[in-house]
Structure 1
Amino acid sequence: MIVDKFAALNETVPVKKYRYTYGGAGANVAVASARLKAKSGLFAVSGYDFKKMNYEKCLTEQGVDIRGVIRTSEFPMARSFILSKEESEDQILYYYESKKAVAQLLFHNIHLAKTLAKEYKILHFSTGHFEFYRRFLKKYKGEQIISFDPGQETFSYPYRVIRLLKYCHLLFMNNHEAKRIKEILKLKSIKEIKGPSLICISLGAQGAIILFDGKFYRIPAVKPTRVIDPTGAGDSHRAGFLTALLKGYDIETAGRIASTVASFTIEAEGAQTSLPTWEKVARRYEHFFKEPLPEPSLSWEKTIKMILETKHKC
């Protein structure tokens, strides 16, 4: 909802524009990855309105594997209500009807999660039920790369986030979340975090920084054609980075590709509205960085070996 100003207590303000769009951190990453032609699947609990509101059809048409979507007739899908002042701040309200019932469904289907996980090279964990994540990762014996983006849960349940750090290879945060992790762990530098091989910190319009194997990469933000709505830009950034790794790109180029993918998301309302194809990413990459998109320099086997070896050093 777009407003000229936020309402004070007991005040009513008109809404200039209202849109309903699809979202959810995990689904955003899955859809963005699928648009980039990466094999993509989703494990999550939906609601009784999943099919009715055409989200099931939308995910299927985008090429996302939804065998891991757990249906229920007990409650609706979770959703966010976002109030935005144009080109300014947001207020976000999050509605999640039955967290306990969601947890029960997740734990009941943990074997399904383990079975489907074996079909993928990267497992990406975003905002969700962190106790389920911990149970899954504690006993999971797969060889996949584990990617983790705790998002706003860093502030809601910081200690649950910290307990998962030792299981992940790739850690994604924004600068506010990174600051919170440093405070909780009493660290002087984010480089002191134990566990992840790679840490990527998004800085909004200032781009991102990546820490990997003792090296520091500063990745600029790719300029969009217009700025409409930043919702989901972080998720599409993750999708771009993970897809680039799957294709065999080095860390710095993967960061640049991620920044390019994120720039498209900002150009329309909604997290999944303007996600690009790989061809569009290549054209914008070459226009912004003033060089051809390089050919991948690594096989997936070399990529995973590089990441796993770096984790062993941590």
Structure 2
Amino acid sequence: MQLVVTGSVATDHVMTFPGRFSEQLLPDQLHSVSLSFLVDSLQVRHSGTAANIAVGLGRLGLTPRLVAAVGADFEDYAIWLERNGVDIKGIHVEPDSCTARFLVTTDFDQNQIASFYPGAMSRARDIDLNRLLDVSEPGGLVVITQDDPQAMLRHTRACRARGTAFAAVPSQQLARLNRGSIEDLVCGADFLFTNSHERALLLRRSGWSEQTVLERVGVWVTTLGTAGVRVDSLGAPPLCVPAVSVAQVADPTGVGDAFRAGFLAAIAWGLDYSAAAQLGCAMAAGALESTGAQDYRADARTLLDRLSLTYGRSAATRVAPFLPGTDTAYGSEPVSPTKPADTPETSVSSSDTAPPPTSESRPPSHDPQCPQRLLLIERDFLIPVLRRAPGAWFARPTSCPGWTVRDLLAHCAAALTRIAEDRLHDFSPQDNQQDILDRKDCSIEEIVDELEAGCAKAGPAIAAADGQLDVIALGEWVHAGDVRAAFGITPAYATEGTDDALALLATCSRVRETPLLTARLPDRELQLGTWLPDQRKRAGLTTDADNLVRLYTGRPADEGLYSLVGAAPADLVIYK
């Protein structure tokens, strides 16, 4: 299938100011503002919606043709695109102009001052798409992304006139298009791509209902952030596909474009919408973990492991034959353990029914520094997040019934202070609630200060307790995960402290007498729990670290991301 991608090609100039913009503004001089900032860093990155999608397609082994207007400064960008498998024969160069540029400066509080210069993109309306489409290769798809609005309209009309299939990706241009232009861009599209905000904006500005949109397009694909993606088509129930979890969010720029590249590649290979959405989510996860819209990895092994872990081995098997670098069927080599939708319950070895060796019932040697390391790692990660968070976020509910983020932080701060000052109580629900009430007049800043100090001061006291307080250190880390979950940070219960947290979990699962269980994670295998009098064989769990912690701490876990044999989820919970 011939894939043509039209739209913006740009460079991002990203700068960091080590202070606060608000401190540079004088209230009595706002009528005459003249500011200059000495920035710490400057990063110049390749960007532009069309270029982002084309690079993603190229990395998946396709050769998309990029159609865009650029300036005389395009030479280095051209080399980059061709190196990533993009056909640039459709590029129109304006010799007297610059390629579009986005300039942004971010301060300490994540406030931004930005400008966008369209440059040569304004001449994209002069491009004749008919001259660039290969008439000898029918069955292609033109992806019309955000661009000069007149260019978007011209390309859409050309596709309709030729009977060429097209996908509409209006993105940010929806905000400036009137109802007539929206109708012109969307009607007849084989695919319509939006995110959740753009979906609502399209409905409001067009005056259409969702039913009306589906009557005008073939398939409507909506990305939903951490909730995954929704695929709608007329007369069919919505297809909802969960997102792929990431180890750490680095930069959301270009994540939607990476998703579209994965989705469109799967469509070009003849796969169904479910497989397309899954590959799109795997590509998006890679982009989310990287800085820059085009600097993520999309090698076959990484993608297949993401698919296998999130959606099951069969999802990876469907895609593997099409990815460059996979000469044999996926599965001929060892891969990361995953939740196998097609794996029978006999995956727990028959040898697990044998009487356990004495050593397996004995806790591993205790590392007294483990809880302290965990608290310090969590302090260094969470405290900066809390200090940057908007005030309204602290009123969000958490997985602890009846507690907001503020309540949860107050509880954690109080618990660590009590440990540091050797004023322990029973940590009963009544005791915990009283600690929260004692801090009802404290500001968020004061609570965060107490929490930060507690993470440092409580560590030595926990270490000196010879394991008796380890479960509290683990609980503090889990509560930090509750905060991340409330803030929408994924994965919530897997951070740099995961190794120490899992070591504590292994000990706590034995002390709390959960069933003996072998947990198979992508990067390790754990022995948890202890043999119980009525337990006939060792239980088995295949999942990732995030859902393992969720299951053992009673947090909501995604049933599609774990396989549990020989025990029920309620049997695993250590906090009861």
TM over 0.5: yes
1:7 offset after TM fit, Å?
Answer: 2.2
Partner in structure 2 of residue 210 of structure 1? 231
Q: 2:288 aligned with 1:266, yes or no?
A: yes
Aligned partners of 1:87 and 1:228 also within 8 Å: no
State the one-letter code of the partner of 1:273: D
Q: Which moved more, 1:18-27 or 1:279-288?
A: 279-288
Deviation at 1:13, TM superposition (A): 5.4
Cα distance in structure 1, aligned partners of 2:122 and 2:73: 19
Structure 1 runs of 4+ aligned residues shifted over 6 Å read none
Partners of 2:98 and 2:120 within 8 A in 1: no
CA distance in 2 between partners of 1:101 and 1:256 (Å): 36
| Structure 1 equivalent of residue 155 of structure 2 | 136
Q: Does 1:40 align with 2:64?
A: yes
Q: Is 1:285 aligned to residue 294 of structure 2?
A: no
Task: Tell me which residue corresponds to 1:303.
Answer: none
**Cα distance, 1:85–1:238 mapped onto 2, change above 3 Å:** farther
Shift in CA distance, 169/42, structure 1 to aligned 2, threshold 3 Å: same
Deviates most, 26-35 or 141-150: 141-150
Displacement of 1:128 in angstroms is 0.7
Paired AA for residue 21 in structure 2: A
After superposition, give the CA deviation of every residue in 1:84-127 in whole Å (9 maximum; x if it has no partner).
468967654311136654433x2xx4442344895772211101
Q: 1:190 to 1:290 in 2, by over 3 A?
A: same
Q: 1:82 is matched with which residue?
A: 104
2:518 corresponds to which residue? Answer: none
Residue 121 of structure 1: aligned partner: 140
Q: Is residue 37–residue 278 contact of structure 1 (8 Å, CA) maintained in 2?
A: no
For residue 199 of structure 1, give the secondary structure of its aligned residue in structure 2. strand
Contact conserved, 1:68 with 1:112, CA < 8 A, in 2? Answer: no
Contact 2:100 2:120 in 1 (8 A): no
CA contact (8 A) 2:175 2:201 kept: yes
Aligned pairs (5 A) from 1:100-111? 100-104=122-126, 106=127, 109-111=128-130
Matched letter for residue 199 of structure 1 = W
Q: Residue 220 of structure 1 aligns with which residue?
A: 242
Q: Structure 1 pair 221/91, CA: closer, same or farther in 2 (3 Å)?
A: farther
Residue 250 of structure 1, CA deviation: 1.2
Q: 1:287 to 1:100 in 2, by over 3 A?
A: closer
Shift of residue 246 of structure 1? 1.4
Alignment of 1:44-55 (within 5 A): 44-51=68-75, 54-55=76-77
Paired residues of 2:130 and 2:158 also in contact (CA < 8 A): no
Aligned residues: 290
Specify every segment of 5 or more residues in structure 2 that has no aligned partner in the other structure, as ranges. 1-14, 26-32, 320-576
Q: Say whether the 8 Å CA contact 1:118–1:142 is kept in structure 2.
A: no
Match among 155, 173, 176 for residue 153 of structure 1: 173
Match of 2:80 in 1: 58
The equivalent of 2:47 in structure 1 is 23
Amino acid at match of 1:286: S
Partner of 2:21: 7
Per-residue deviation, 1:19: 1.1
Return the alpha-carbon distance in structure 2 between the equivalents of residues 126 and 260 of structure 1. Answer: 21
Distance 1:203 1:47, change over 3 A: same
Q: Which amino acid aligns with 2:144?
A: F
Partner Cα distance (2:115, 2:137) in 1: 35
Partners of 2:16 and 2:41 within 8 A in 1:
yes
Distance 1:219 1:3 in 2: 39
Which secondary structure state, in structure 1, belongs to the residue aligned with residue 89 of structure 2? Answer: strand
Change (3 A) 1:283 1:192: same
- Structure 1 residue 76 displacement after superposition: 0.4
Once residues 236 and 204 of structure 1 are traced to their aligned partners in structure 2, the CA distance between those partners, rounded to angstroms, is 13
Which letter maps to 1:240? G
Deviations 1:216-268 (A, max 9, x none): 01121211222111111111110000001112221112111101101101122
Distance in structure 2 (CA, Å) of the matches to 1:117 and 1:192: 35
CA–CA separation in structure 2 for the residues paired with 1:91 and 1:268: 22
More relative contact order, 1 or 2 (CA 8 Å, 6+ apart) = 1
- Contact persistence 1:166–1:195 (CA under 8 A): yes
* Amino acid paired to 2:53: V
In the alignment, the residues of structure 2 paired with residue 90 and residue 217 of structure 1 have an alpha-carbon distance, to the nearest angstrom, of 36
TM-superposed CA distance for 1:284, in Å, is 1.2
* Structure-to-structure mapping, 1:180-191, within 5 angstroms: 180-187=201-208, 189-191=209-211
Aligned to 1:295: 318
Classify the secondary structure of the residue corresponding to 1:49: coil
* Of 184, 193, 199, the match for 1:178: 199
CA distance in 2 between counterparts of 1:272 and 1:173 reads: 20
Matched residue, 1:254? 276
Cα–Cα, structure 1 residues 118 and 79, in superposed 2: closer, same or farther, change >3 Å?
A: farther
Rounded to whole Å, the distance in 1 between the matches of 2:110 and 2:229 is: 21
| Distance of 1:101 and 1:192 partners within structure 2 | 33
TM-score where L is the length of structure 1: 0.82
Equivalent residue of 1:46, what SS? strand
**Does the aligned pair in 1 maintain the 2:262–2:279 contact within 8 Å?**
yes
Provide closer, same or farther for how the CA distance between residues 110 and 41 of structure 1 changes in structure 2, counting only shifts above 3 A: closer
**1:62 Cα deviation after fit:** 1.0
Alpha-carbon contact 1:169-1:195 (below 8 Å) kept: no
